[in-house]
Amino acid sequence: MINNMDISKAMTIQLSDIFDELPPKPKFVEGIRRAPKREFKLSKKETEIALKNALRYIPEKWHEELAPEFLDELLTRGRIYGYRFRPEGRIYGKPIDEYKGKCIEGKAFQVMIDNNLDFEVALYPYELVTYGETGQVCQNWMQYQLIKRYLEELTDEQTLVVASGHPLGLFRSSPHSPRVIITNGLMVGMFDDQEHWNKAAAMGVANYGQMTAGGWMYIGPQGIVHGTYNTILNAGRIKLGIEEDLRGCLFVSSGLGGMSGAQGKAIKIARGVGIIAEVDYSRIKTRLDQGWVDVVIEDIEEAFRVAKEHMDKKESLAIAYYGNIVDLLEYAVNNNIHIDLLSDQTSCHVPYDGGYCPQGVTFEERTELLRSDKEKFIELVNKSLIHHFELIKELVNRGTYFFDYGNSFMKAVFDAGAKDIAKNGVDESEGFIFPSYVEDIMGPMLFDYGYGPFRWVCLSGKHEDLIKTDKAAMECIDPNRRFQDRDNWVWIRDADKNKLVVGTQARILYQDALGRMKIALRFNEMVRNGEIGPVMLGRDHHDTGGTDSPFRETANIYDGSNVMADMATHCFAGNAARGMSLVALHNGGGVGIGKAINGGFGLVLDGSERVDNIIRSAIPWDVMVGVARRSWAMNENSIETAIEYNKQFKDTDHITLPYVANDDLVKKLVDEKYDEGLVK
């Protein structure tokens, strides 16, 4: 029978090689946000399995000491995090040359992982949560330590495989293969729901990667600043008739956390006035210290007064309202205050796990209720969501434009019991009465053309490298081609002035397929010429081709395929086949388990011709697989984009285009059959 001694001898990468002795118990820095207790509903037998699962990482000599400690973590935190194995002191994305490694990609991904866990970046850094309330780099600190060591040993003829945070191991591949392949939370269909996922996570076999958390590509809230900026600017164009910016307009929303923290900054860049509600003062303080909000106001009347004053002067201002969004909207309704644009960016993909704070409950009371009385908390969340919805309906009736920002707010309202938010009043199959921001804005105006959140990180850690890449990207954009290009040209022109960097020296820039390819080739040339150090390319998984999600990214897919996950899967597989440095496929994304499949990538620019070739084949594929799917769903703007692509790449690529049926013919034939009673 195989024993633990045999197992230890068979591994060259294990915790006992990293630690000569068991690390001391951790010290937690006061003031750093901590994750609330996670749902724990394991049976006695399942609890035993969870404990054994965590001990799989631990040499037998430490079992006796760590087993009770891990069990205590499980019972008090809802998860086993292995706090002992967190590195002492500050974790942050250091310059790439400060990392050990046998290939550039191995060192580059260590930069990205550590950036995701920076105190200034991560939502709950001690629990490895980067953003979105539950989005983790990996499940526990044992996995973190092993992943880091594997990346140090990784060569350019190996691939590291990571399954829901667990480093499966190194496997022989080739220099043209991905160096890392990641999956997170891919539940078998029958079990693909929040309840089963919660159990799997507690047992230590599932990780919620969110998008760029478990895909190691998060660059701080800068990423969503651009998306929010694009959204509110185009909402203003479509619904308010503005041309250039949002001067004189009021935007109201909630959330100032990891992703939602972008809202104040976005409204400032768009030159409007924003009031953003937030119940967690630590998040407000972060944005205030960054300069992403201008002022904190606790009195609702004062918040609207100051907003009106700046609107009248056509001056931009970002107000953080320290309080609950429902209270804010209730005041607006009762006092007949007009709101131009209204949204919500709380983490409603997990409303019952702390993502939504109900009206009448402080943030501290919310945290205590999550620990002590989950049923009461759920009851309060449902009541608050329904009232929140009623207030929005009234404001919309008075002329406000409300849009769901893809945080599953409308789905959460439906689940809370407000069936009238569904278009058919019965279920979610036909969508909701309010548009998703993708359905109305991002889909037709950006995704259908291939524009999405392209991004890069200057791995040298040098700000001067970032400035050089900004300038080069700007030179690659023709601002006169489309209004989208003009918006993005202005964005990158002002990017440094707007002080967007949080964590590593990174930038986001919405670009289409050809724009991304052109910029990537230019950056790789700059690396080759020694003008800048190596660069990591990536994108948010929330993109043209990266994510299948009927409530968000694919909300403007109307041919019935909005419930299919073929696109994201093909995007992932195609990127792997074309040699991207990292490929990732996750369940859940920004909307919750079972509601999305999303794929991402990372590509290290090392200046080589090999990378030039990957850029030419993989970057257009990564975008156009989405345009092709949107085109086949008969979205007019994407059909136009696909036609142009077929012309431009007629010798190498070809997208299948749809013939458009005559609506009158189809309707006439179907009506006749139904009228004749031939359809039961």
Closest by CA position to 452, among listed 343, 537, 545: 545
Closest by CA position to 70, among listed 85, 88, 55: 55
d(CA 71, CA 465): 47
> What percent of the chain stands above pLDDT 70?
100
pLDDT band at 542 (very low <50, low <70, confident <90, very high): confident
Quick one: pLDDT at residue 439? Answer: 86
d(CA 235, CA 483): 14
Parallel, antiparallel, or unpaired for β 597-605 and 582-587?
A: antiparallel
Closest by CA position to 439, among listed 528, 558, 608: 558
Quick one: pLDDT at residue 104? Answer: 98
d(CA 471, CA 500): 16
Residue 244, helix vs strand vs coil: coil
Residue 468 pLDDT exceeds 70: yes
d(CA 306, CA 319): 9
- Cβ atoms of 611 and 603 within 8 Å: the answer is yes
Cα 41 to its chain centre, rounded Å, is 27
Task: Report which residue type is found at 104.
Answer: I
Mean pLDDT of 352-363: 94
Mean pLDDT of 265-279: 96
First-to-last CA distance in the chain? 64
> Quick one: tokens of 11?
């591994």
- Cβ atoms of 228 and 453 within 8 Å: the answer is no
Residue 258 pLDDT exceeds 80: no
Query: What is the greatest pairwise CA distance in the chain?
Result: 81
Quick one: pLDDT at residue 404? Answer: 86
Look over the chain and give the mean of its residue pLDDT values, rounded to a whole number: 95
Quick one: pLDDT at residue 680? Answer: 66
Which tens digits make up the pLDDT trace of 101-122? 999 999 999 999 999 999 999 9
Quick one: pLDDT at residue 616? Answer: 97
Residue 271 pLDDT exceeds 70: yes
Which tens digits make up the pLDDT trace of 139-160? 999 999 999 999 999 999 999 9
The residue that leads in pLDDT, 299 or 227, is 299
d(CA 616, CA 317): 42
d(CA 577, CA 58): 35
Quick one: pLDDT at residue 440? Answer: 85
> Quick one: tokens of 335?
């006092």
Residue 224 pLDDT exceeds 90: no
Quick one: pLDDT at residue 491? Answer: 93
Residue 126 contacts by C-beta under 8 Å, 6 or more apart in sequence?
A: 26, 28, 32, 34, 35, 81, 83, 86
